[in-house]
Structure 1
Amino acid sequence: MLKALLGDPNARKLKKYQPLLTEINLLEDEFKKLSDRELREKTTEYKQRLEKGETLDELLPEAFATVREAGRRVLGLRHFDVQLLGGMVLHSGQIAEMKTGEGKTLVATLPAYLNALTGKGVHIITVNDYLARRDAEWMGQVHRFLGLSVGLIQSGMEPRERQKNYACDITYATNSEIGFDYLRDNMATTMEEVVQRPLNYCVIDEVDSILIDEARTPLIISGQVERPSEKYMRAAQVALGLNKEDHYEVDEKARNVILSDEGYAQAEKLLEVKDLFDPNDPWAHYIFNAIKAKELFIKDVNYIVRNGEVTIVDEFTGRVLQGRRWSDGLHQAIEAKERVEIQPETQTLATITYQNLFLLYNKLGGMTGTAKTEEAEFEKIYKLEVTIIPTNRPTGRRDVSDVVYKTEMAKWKAVAEECAELHEIGRPILVGTTSVEKSELLSRLLRDRNVPHNLLNAKPENVERESEIIAQAGRKGAVTIATNMAGRGTDIILGGNAEYMARLKLREYL
């Protein structure tokens, strides 16, 4: 009833952007007549006008019209009116909820260009290295055409290279790279070692994944501590001699274990010690970690073992976190459980959560297909409003009801059967799974049915072909099984991505 009386609050928000939208559309014909050089010179003109006291809001219609025309010339993509609305929402420091396939990547070019005119730097955050690289190469063409510098931060980059890329007008990076660079900068002893500039403006792609799902995830930089590795091996053996029913409880939510009195007694008996907490010969730390490793950390779900090393798999992105280790002896406990060489233990030197990191930016905007459900959290924690952007055309996607099975195996067999049927008629299929283990189970079931398919998970042999697998996943009859590596923000083009494949092959030959 209130909605009927007062009107839809979302529609009211969008209505206030309407005059700006009309102004941008009126400028379109004028900007089409400009030569490439004249269009590029607009950037210098806007910077000079900013220095003379004009505001970004006053420049918005012309800046957006400039980016729209550049996008049309460079990429062959013209921003739709709804994409311009999305850009305005992002510039005003809000979250734009845009449905899948509405071109969020292209939307980010608008506020990024406008805010980069100040010279203070803009960060565009994506959920993984692949997307950051793709967007910097693809959308970066628009910014470079308009005379702005575009940087890219990837894992494994040297500090000097990072410094150069952060100094660019617009920098594409992942949330974890930004976070770890921030921590390293805070540990730097001289200004020459600092790679980042002050955090100015940030556009987060898949904002609900980063600011809500991973909000409490701590980023930790550790230093080494020497502890005897034999204790980890012995503790792993003791953990096998204890059971959940009699000796301890597992708190899966808090990722913790609680030993009962019987558990303490049994552990002391197996170790042949009188007290697990004896300061001269402490065992409690090792036993707790050994039980956590046994109960809470599962091979091919939380980690994989390759080349005799335990490597973490990110639960949110499905990717291998190369060089990252769990701290406080947990990684060593897992190494002991898997009977691989035990590396030295680490202790925390610096830490921050994504929640605290992104609150450090002067201005923050975000986009995703699913934000309205978390609107209360966004407003309370980050003071970010959510605006729903309408689709450019009525959506043709059908969302069908969930199907529930009695057993997990029955579910996977049904998935395999459906994949076989759809493959027969030539429909491309993407199957999302939650872990390496589940993706390999489905792969086996499809092999049994002689269904050709590609597997995309954290195993190194699959990661190497990631770009190629995603580029071809939309081809007729293609079947792709993926963990959440091919989840958020991944563009799968129906018919396959011929242009990307051509670039990939060209890179191989050059």
Structure 2
Amino acid sequence: MLGSLAKKIFGSSNDRRVKGYRPRVQAINALEPELAALSDEALRARTDALKAELAAGKTLDDILVPAFATVREAAKRVLGQRHFDVQMIGGMVLHESGIAEMKTGEGKTLVATLATYLNALSGKGVHVVTVNDYLARRDAEWMGRVYRFLGLTTGIIVHGLDDAERKAAYACDITYGTNNEYGFDYLRDNMKYELGQMVQRGHNFAIVDEVDSILIDEARTPLIISGPIDDRSDLYTMIDAVMPRLVREDYDLDEKQRTVSLTEAGNEHIEELLREAGILKEGDLYDAHNVTLVHHVNQALRAHTLFTRDKDYIVRNDEVVIIDEFTGRMMPGRRYSEGLHQALEAKERVEIQPENQTLASITFQNYFRLYKHLAGMTGTASTEADEFHEIYNLEVVEIPTNKEVERVDEDDEVYRTVDEKYAAIIKEIDKAHARLQPVLVGTGSIERSEHIAGLLVKHGYTPLDYSDPSALEDVYAAAREGRVTKRFAVLNARFHEQEAYIVAEAGVPGAITIATNMAGRGTDIKLGGNLDMRIEQELANVPEGPERDARIATLKAEIDQNRAKVLASGEPADPEAGRKTALPGGLYIVGTERNESRRIDNQLRGRSGRQGDPGRSKFYLSLQDDLMRIFGSDRMDGMLQRLGLEEGEAIIHPWINKAIAKAQQKVEARNFDMRKNVLKYDNVMNDQRKVVFEQRREFMAQESVRETVDEMRQGVIDDVVARHIPEDAYPEQWDIASLRESVTRDLNLDVPVEDWAKEEGIADEEIRERLRKAADEAYAERTARNTPEVMAYVEKQVLLQSLDHLWREHLVTLDHLRQVIGWRGIAQRDPLNEYKSEAFDLFNSLVGSLREQVTGQLMRVEIMYQEPEQPSLPPMFAQHLDPVTGENEFAFAEGAAGGGGGAYEFAGQALAADAQVLERNPDDSTTWGRVGRNEPCPCGSGKKYKHCHGRFAADE
């Protein structure tokens, strides 16, 4: 109570922080008349003047006021847009490495120019991170006009660039790109063999647009670069051969959960079988160095117990083809990961295709924590403020709106069944459409959006193809004439230029837009229509001049008329229905379900009521929705039946809203704990990753790594001697025969170790010194024979390539360890501590193996003189799974990326190479398998699949 009283008197901590920025805003405003009087050249010259002040010792904070004032004046002249005072506050929050929470339509893209320009003056580079390529291109071109006017350079990182183009883009003062591209370039840079080949120049300052989507939603899955692994078909075949010898008591099978695990007796039995087969050579099965073997045993067990031929997969054309469990269709070209598909191929005695292994990976949490300064902006961040602070050390500041929000957020309507809920939604859409009120229908998944679309079709509506110009003309004609067209648009494929156009036109009178995931669309829904989009679409071929100006004026007048219609499309009061007040016009948001996160619901609601516009939002729920089932719908269902709630009736009460918000908070907390747990494990790998990547850079930066190579050789000798001549042991206890073998194998030396051991009074230290001397002499002779210059080059390449090979094997081992370490919990041991301990031992093993590999290769190397050839990166493809759909965001992307002379492939191409794609018959959809949404439709129409047969695939 005292807290709420103090808040009323003194304001919240957020209010006080915002108030603290006001004096600097006033200082910026005071400079406006002075800057407005400058010529373009004089305004542009301020950039060099500000850089000079920095060089003279001033800080970025010292020049914030004049820099922000300069950007505001440039934006007025170039874009015709003047930053509001609240936008200035948003820019300050970004500069201070905070998150600016700004409502939709408040101009976040323009706000970013302030902090971006200021930090770019340091010359260390600024990265602006967007959620898709379209927004990166659009914002770089749009805001790049301001930067170019002020003398700064702008680059773009998108699909389709080679290394030279990427390096040039990163060298610019300001670089726009997607989170995937930045992360992928970072990983790929740390696989290069020369510093000059690296494209990124550091991680100084980043502004993340839609920061909640990128740093929380997208961060649920890591960015992975994979490549083909060495042939392991013999291992799969050998393990498969022992599987039939297991008995039912050897494993616990849960068919409902589709899980299987070995029992204690089964572990002992499988160890015995593996030893008999010569597969388990040393130690126990669950020793850290055997963790990969455990992984393959588990996958073979799954293949034999959980997967049934002709139900889960079929064998056709000497390959295993997955059957989709939902549609029953074959999915040629798709393969199970983690070696499961290879286990099925071994089980069915077909050719075992090569497996892909992780070459490099990183979570977005750990990538973005590389930046010295990180900032973000979004419309919805306060509900995740704790996570932003704990994981990224980012404070969320709510920026006031330029104009008061006029949107009416109605109480949720809760129905007993999903069918009743959908019937109510269709009825509400009908009523709003008859009033010509634009409706945005938000769904939680692609399948549900297609289900709503199917229901609308059954009720006489027609899907609208925005790629058809005649359809667009009809939409605008209907808006002018006040006709009800019964047309709707479906927006559920992620991030495409056409989507931005659909969103822009969702405010036309009578528009019905069904959308999934409204975050990061990057385009405002403007009531009456979007003038810029109309000009771009309709006047693209009309040259500058009086005719173009006249047509723009006509479009503007039409949009103004449409806006008036939308504002007047509200629902009048209806005393008979119990509603005494009228509901406003504007964009009507209809939510078809509550999301697990309040933030996602707020993103949808935030599309309405921009810049003081009126608007309305309402969510429709049923007791069969996922969230309501978690909330405890059985009890509520019984209560509603006792209260006499009839079919088609809804319960509406503010208490329901509060109860649902609490349920969402619980789910958010659970999801945060899950992400935090994943990050704890990844941090272990990240610490090792940073050591390896830093070591690689040091090797590449050195002209010669001779000192390192010599230390490694001495280390190998120390290990060999210690292994075969135990400390304080008598000479008769020495294992001289094995020592001789190791010296020959690891050092390529032919020395009389046996004779040395027979000498009177000789000790292990003297044998160590003789081996060092012999190895040094042999290596010096090899260096002289091949010239020091050539050997210096060879040493560096052997060192880097050996480190890369061992690091990849280490990543696979850690991944397999992560999958089985949870079982340690049964023995009352903390799996995370066990993982840290085992990972540390494995890393030490990697260091030892590196010494042995490098020394062994260099002591044997023979130089053959031929045309010098730059070592190339291995074949690879990028993968980042969409946390919602599970699809790889890099699959079927247009163009090629990554450069490197064809070293990089998109996942879609790599999948096709992994397994022969069965022939698709255009007339038989059962032969199509799984089609990528952006692939050409197999029917031969020439359209993308999502615009053709994929439009309503869920209803087939």
In 1, Cα distance between equivalents of 2:105 and 2:353:
45
Q: Which of residues 141, 152, 155 in structure 1 aligns to 2:156?
A: 152
Work out whether residues 90 and 366 of structure 1, in 8 Å CA contact, stay in contact via their aligned partners in 2. yes
Q: Cα deviations across residues 442-461 of structure 1 (Å, max 9, x unaligned)? A: 111112223212222239xx
Work out whether residues 456 and 466 of structure 1, in 8 Å CA contact, stay in contact via their aligned partners in 2. yes
Change (3 A) 1:410 1:507: same
SS at match of 1:499: helix
Q: Cα deviations across residues 300-335 of structure 1 (Å, max 9, x unaligned)? A: 99x9x999555xxxxxxxxxxxxxx98524688999
Deviation of 1:409 after TM superposition, in Å, equals 3.6
Q: Please state if 1:59 is matched with 2:63.
A: yes
Q: Please state if 1:401 is matched with 2:436.
A: no
Work out whether residues 132 and 173 of structure 1, in 8 Å CA contact, stay in contact via their aligned partners in 2. yes
Work out whether residues 216 and 355 of structure 1, in 8 Å CA contact, stay in contact via their aligned partners in 2. no
SS at match of 2:201: coil
- 2:498 equivalent in structure 1: 465
In 2, Cα distance between equivalents of 1:328 and 1:32:
62
Equivalent residues in 2 for 1:311-350, closer than 5 Å: 327-329=337-339, 344-350=354-360
Q: Please state if 1:454 is matched with 2:460.
A: no
Q: Cα deviations across residues 467-490 of structure 1 (Å, max 9, x unaligned)? A: 432332222222222222665544
Q: Cα deviations across residues 396-420 of structure 1 (Å, max 9, x unaligned)? A: 1222222333333433333333223
Alignment-mate amino acid for residue 455 of structure 2:
L
Q: Please state if 1:115 is matched with 2:119.
A: yes
Change (3 A) 1:176 1:326: farther
Alignment-mate amino acid for residue 32 of structure 1:
A
SS at match of 2:214: helix
Change (3 A) 1:169 1:249: farther
- 1:284 equivalent in structure 2: 298
Q: Which of residues 400, 410, 430 in structure 2 aligns to 1:420?
A: 430
In 1, Cα distance between equivalents of 2:323 and 2:148:
45
- 1:71 equivalent in structure 2: 75
Q: Which has a greater percent of helix?
A: 2
Work out whether residues 201 and 362 of structure 1, in 8 Å CA contact, stay in contact via their aligned partners in 2. yes
Equivalent residues in 2 for 1:347-362, closer than 5 Å: 347-362=357-372
Q: Which ranges of structure 1 fall in alignment gaps of 5 or more residues?
A: 236-245, 252-256, 266-273, 311-324, 336-340
In 2, Cα distance between equivalents of 1:261 and 1:73:
71
Deviation of 1:146 after TM superposition, in Å, equals 1.5
Q: Please state if 1:89 is matched with 2:97.
A: no
Change (3 A) 1:284 1:508: farther
- 1:380 equivalent in structure 2: 390
- 2:592 equivalent in structure 1: none
Q: Cα deviations across residues 7-41 of structure 1 (Å, max 9, x unaligned)? A: 32222212322221110010111111112222111
SS at match of 1:101: coil
Q: Which of residues 245, 254, 270 in structure 2 aligns to 1:248?
A: 254
Aligned residues: 461
Equivalent residues in 2 for 1:216-227, closer than 5 Å: 216-225=220-229, 226=231
Alignment-mate amino acid for residue 446 of structure 2:
V
Deviation of 1:138 after TM superposition, in Å, equals 1.8
Of 58-67 and 365-374, more deviation after overlay is shown by 365-374
Change (3 A) 1:165 1:307: farther
Alignment-mate amino acid for residue 76 of structure 2:
R
Q: Which of residues 160, 165, 170 in structure 2 aligns to 1:161?
A: 165
SS at match of 1:38: helix
The TM-score, its normalising length taken from structure 2, stands at: 0.44
Deviation of 1:347 after TM superposition, in Å, equals 0.9
Q: Which of residues 507, 510, 527 in structure 2 aligns to 1:474?
A: 507
In 2, Cα distance between equivalents of 1:476 and 1:300:
42
In 2, Cα distance between equivalents of 1:91 and 1:356:
21
- 1:316 equivalent in structure 2: none
In 1, Cα distance between equivalents of 2:157 and 2:120:
17
Change (3 A) 1:78 1:463: closer
In 2, Cα distance between equivalents of 1:26 and 1:142:
21
Q: Which ranges of structure 2 fall in alignment gaps of 5 or more residues?
A: 241-251, 267-272, 281-292, 313-321, 346-350, 462-486, 544-956
In 2, Cα distance between equivalents of 1:66 and 1:24:
9
In 2, Cα distance between equivalents of 1:26 and 1:332:
70
Deviation of 1:388 after TM superposition, in Å, equals 1.6
SS at match of 2:61: helix
SS at match of 1:420: helix
Alignment-mate amino acid for residue 499 of structure 2:
E
In 2, Cα distance between equivalents of 1:370 and 1:453:
28
Q: Please state if 1:502 is matched with 2:503.
A: no
- 1:493 equivalent in structure 2: 526
- 2:399 equivalent in structure 1: 389
Percent of residue pairs bearing the same amino acid type: 53
Q: Cα deviations across residues 367-393 of structure 1 (Å, max 9, x unaligned)? A: 122222222222222222222211111
SS at match of 1:404: strand
Work out whether residues 130 and 210 of structure 2, in 8 Å CA contact, stay in contact via their aligned partners in 1. yes
Work out whether residues 500 and 521 of structure 2, in 8 Å CA contact, stay in contact via their aligned partners in 1. no
Deviation of 1:80 after TM superposition, in Å, equals 0.6
Work out whether residues 129 and 174 of structure 1, in 8 Å CA contact, stay in contact via their aligned partners in 2. yes
Larger Rg belongs to: 2
In 1, Cα distance between equivalents of 2:189 and 2:165:
14
Deviation of 1:433 after TM superposition, in Å, equals 2.2
Of 433-442 and 45-54, more deviation after overlay is shown by 433-442
- 2:769 equivalent in structure 1: none
Q: Please state if 1:364 is matched with 2:374.
A: yes
In 2, Cα distance between equivalents of 1:44 and 1:475:
46
Work out whether residues 102 and 399 of structure 2, in 8 Å CA contact, stay in contact via their aligned partners in 1. yes
Work out whether residues 90 and 111 of structure 2, in 8 Å CA contact, stay in contact via their aligned partners in 1. yes
SS at match of 1:13: helix
SS at match of 2:105: coil
In 2, Cα distance between equivalents of 1:298 and 1:492:
41
Work out whether residues 206 and 489 of structure 1, in 8 Å CA contact, stay in contact via their aligned partners in 2. no
SS at match of 2:62: helix
In 2, Cα distance between equivalents of 1:67 and 1:31:
10
In 2, Cα distance between equivalents of 1:419 and 1:283:
55
| RMSD over equivalenced CA pairs, Å | 4.0
In 2, Cα distance between equivalents of 1:145 and 1:194:
30
In 1, Cα distance between equivalents of 2:180 and 2:146:
26
In 1, Cα distance between equivalents of 2:353 and 2:541:
37
In 2, Cα distance between equivalents of 1:298 and 1:94:
48
Work out whether residues 453 and 479 of structure 1, in 8 Å CA contact, stay in contact via their aligned partners in 2. yes
Deviation of 1:432 after TM superposition, in Å, equals 2.4
Q: Please state if 1:99 is matched with 2:99.
A: no
Of 428-437 and 43-52, more deviation after overlay is shown by 428-437
The TM-score, its normalising length taken from structure 1, stands at: 0.79
Change (3 A) 1:292 1:213: farther
In 2, Cα distance between equivalents of 1:400 and 1:419:
16
Change (3 A) 1:342 1:50: farther
In 1, Cα distance between equivalents of 2:184 and 2:131:
14
In 1, Cα distance between equivalents of 2:154 and 2:325:
37
Alignment-mate amino acid for residue 43 of structure 2:
L
In 2, Cα distance between equivalents of 1:385 and 1:151:
29
Deviation of 1:5 after TM superposition, in Å, equals 4.6
